[in-house]
Amino acid sequence: MRFVLRSLLGLVHLAAAVALLAMAGLWLRDAMEARQAAPGPAEGARERVFAANVLRLEPQTIAPFLTAYGTIRSRRTLELRAAAEGTIVDIHPNFLEGGAVAAGDVLLRLDPRDAEAARDLAEADLASARLERGEAERALVLARDDLAAAEVQADLRNQALTRLEDLATRGLGTAADREAAALAASSAAQGVLTRRQALAEAEARLDRAASSVARAEITLAEAERRVADTVLSGEFAGVLSGVGAVRGGLVSRNEKLGDLIDPSALEVSFRISSAEFSRLLDEDGALRALPVQATSGQAEARGRLDRAAASVAVGESGRLVFAALERAEGLRPGDFVALTITEPALQAVAMIPAAALGPDGSVLLVGAEDRLETGRVTVLRRQGDAVIVAPGNLAGREIVAGRSPLLGPGIRIRPVREGAPEEASLIPLAPERRAALVALVEANERMPAAAKARVLAELGQDLVPAATVQRIEARNGG
């Protein structure tokens, strides 16, 4: 009986000891969790150090670029219009939308019969006018000869009259002879006057014949032009656009039949602000022939600035500029393109990220003991996400590449330079964030024990790999 009682008492003592040990283990675990979650003993405030990417302001020569948008157009465009009316009797096989033709190709012919008949009549009229002119020329020659003969005869009559008058002074001859000679001289003078009138009429006839020939030649030239107007030819090699003619169709005078575009003579028109336009001018105020690159999808073309519009239209602003393109394969008139214009190079400047620049144009400099200072640079150009600045006396200094609300003058940073070793990816952690990360790792039951121990060891260091922190927060939705 005593043995049984002693055995029961021993079991009770053993159970009490096990219960006390279990309770002590629970207390110890709670204490450790509370200690890990607590902010820790007050060791005095420790300065927070932030990691920041830095870069050096190295003066260099940079050619900025200007971005604009414009429309492709052709410098050589010809409207195809019918110079005469009629029926289309022949048409070029490539007289189609997008058809290519060579210089001098006959694009279409109109029925030329009426025009050719008018030309033949004009040729006949010209031949008649020339015959009339020939007859007038011959008649003029005869009139001149007749006048010359009449003048000779009149001279002879005058000489006979003079001789008779001389004889009368010496008492010779009769009055009847003298009167007959005077009448004959008067008649001869009248004959000369008549021949002069005939000569004037012959000259007038020749003038009228010459005028008739000139009018006939003009009529013939007009008739030949009308015959030529029945043929429509291409003045230069190009591509047809907007064509609308078929064989047998009836066209009217000045009717538009399409456009002939030279695809090898393209240009782009684009509009920029007045300030941007001023940067494209030289010292004399003339537009520089700066290189231009036009892009539309996969098609690219290069060229140079050519000219600017002479005036600004009502309701518009800025300047309209034109650039001539070279070898613009794949581009057609009407394409909308993006332009990149390379401006003159700038000396002793630096390019920094736009995030490094404050709203007031200031930058954060890395000073002594890696503490931040405020500096100011002159902004020259903005190039997308970058800015071209004139560093001035800040040349060679390091600045923060990306500002944040946590950074300011007097803040100490841990500079992260481009090409720095791997420890640059280590970051400091605040106690609250460190405790939260440790709790997340310990609560992860799927993580192997070895991996959990390694991660907890990394979290216990002063500087923790940034990749580890990002991985833990990403897996837990942080």
Q: Is the pLDDT of residue 420 over 80?
A: no
Tell whether domain 113-228 is in CATH 1.10.287.620. yes
Share of the chain above pLDDT 70, in %: 93
SS3 311: coil
Grade residue 3 by pLDDT with cuts at 50, 70 and 90.
low
Share of the chain above pLDDT 90, in %: 15
Q: Residue 287 corresponds to which tokens in the numbers above?
A: 């537009």
> 107-120, pLDDT tens digit by residue?
899 999 988 899 99
Lowest mean pLDDT among 7-16, 29-38, 57-66, 271-280: 29-38
> 441-476, pLDDT tens digit by residue?
888 877 887 788 888 888 887 778 777 777 777 666
Grade residue 36 by pLDDT with cuts at 50, 70 and 90.
low
Contact 367, 412 (CB under 8 A): no
- pLDDT value for 381: 87
Lowest mean pLDDT among 18-22, 329-333, 359-363, 372-376: 18-22
- pLDDT value for 416: 80
* Average pLDDT for the chain: 84
Q: Is the pLDDT of residue 225 over 50?
A: yes
- pLDDT value for 130: 92
C-alpha neighbours within 13 Å on the C-beta side of residue 351: 14
Mean pLDDT of 367-390: 87
Domain ranges of the chain: 50-62+347-418, 67-74+261-342, 88-110+230-258, 113-228, 421-478
Q: Is the pLDDT of residue 34 over 70?
A: no
pTM of the model: 0.58
Q: What does residue 153 show for φ and ψ, rounded to 5 degrees?
A: -65, -40
- pLDDT value for 4: 66
Q: Which CATH architecture has domain 50-62+347-418?
A: Beta Barrel (2.40)
Going by C-beta distance under 8 Å and a sequence separation of 6 or more, which residues neighbour residue 363? 352, 356, 357, 374, 375, 376, 377, 394, 399, 400
Contact 112, 230 (CB under 8 A): yes
Q: Which CATH architecture has domain 67-74+261-342?
A: Beta Barrel (2.40)
C-alpha neighbours within 13 Å on the C-beta side of residue 334: 3
